Structure 1
Amino acid sequence: MPSEMLKTFLKPMHPEGYKFVAAFAVVTLVLFWIWEPLGWIGTGLTVWCYYFFRDPKRAVPQGEGLMVSPADGMVSLIERAVPPPELGMGDAPMLRVSVFMSVFNCHVNRAPVAGRLVKMAYRPGKFLNASLDKASEDNERNSLCLELADGRRIAVVQIAGLVARRIVPFVSEGQGLKTGERFGLIRFGSRVDTYLPEGVVPLVTLGQTCVAGETVIAELGRDLPQRLAKMV
């Protein structure tokens, strides 16, 4: 029982976080030397840093056509928008589902659906609040175009936020991805947009909390109505 409780609170950490946690720990030791109360503040920040870089395993739903959320967080936008021009996917608007990640969410991003990464394009930019609509156009971003088995293409866009200063990809062009596979990480608060194929409607709603690799955001190949919800 104690070991199971420990696993509930102690999640694996992504290697990307090792150097940051180590730096926080060193600073904490210095703060303890300067003044003990400052050291305890540093301890809290070190724990938060570890928690930020957590990389827990996820139970990815198995089923043909299931699209899962690429990020932990809250659905902040559902609207039609043109995919980033650097992906070369044309000027036709696609339905976009945006998931906003706060600094308390897990920031490891996962592929929403199986496909081949035909293009990945990084573009520098501003660091506006990632929950804002204009962040999609103005902020630093890393855009991925995935080609599905049936030839359709979707876009997944990692967008840096107000605090985020680094987008870290784990994949390269030409690589095949499985549904729920890790493809990147954004450090310290951000957003991930998913552009759905024509005719596919989201099965999530504004304000809904999503879990990367687990929450089904849409189903390909099925004529389903858009899901609605209300806050209670």
Structure 2
Amino acid sequence: MIKVLLADDQALVRAGFRAILDGEDDISVVGEASDGEHAVRLARELGPDIVLMDVQMPGLNGLDATRLIAEDPALAHVKVIILTTYDVDDYIYTALRAGAGGFLLKDTEPAEMIHGIRVVSRGEALLAPSVTRKLIAEFATRSRRPAVSPRLNALTGREREVMTLVAEGLSNEEIADRLFLSPATVKTHASRIMTKLGARDRTQLVVIAYESGMVTPGWMD
């Protein structure tokens, strides 16, 4: 059962999400928060698997709430999915840096929302379908080409290959097909990479890959 916490200052929005999610056999809405501070408190009390987090809320906003959750060792298993109105806005890269594990548009189709929650809970998806890898590349490298980070020296050649493909948004199955490995082996490599680099999840690997210069968007090549 995937436990979901809803964080949005609009009661009607929360009610709509609850109605959608409570109809699924493998998803349970365990709580609702009307602001960021409430969301952090409930995350600590209820230990959800996923927090659907609105960005603009009174008091503590969704970005700061996401950062507090990501920095709490007791909440290491919690994945925050940011709810955003637009697929391109200034919140997205900041949210990635804060520790967000994914994004969903508020007007996304119910089936996409349910799918996004399931795949993010498994740690295999980075972003909602409407938020593309190109967006991450744009925000991560819009100023200048970064220098390659020394911390990447801890990775083996195979791990670098896997991380590059993770940063391109490929799933474990897609990476396995590309490198002629089993999905289980790819998952093991990804876990080791996250441990070596101190990354919270696969989304953080994308941030590290772009910021360190391991991967650059096409327009900078």
| Pair in the same fold by TM > 0.5 | no
Q: Which has the larger radius of gyration?
A: 1
TM-score of the aligned structures, taking structure 1 as reference length: 0.25
Q: Which has the higher contact order (CA 8 A, sep 6+)?
A: 1
TM-score, normalization by structure 2: 0.26
Structure with the higher strand share, 1 or 2: 1
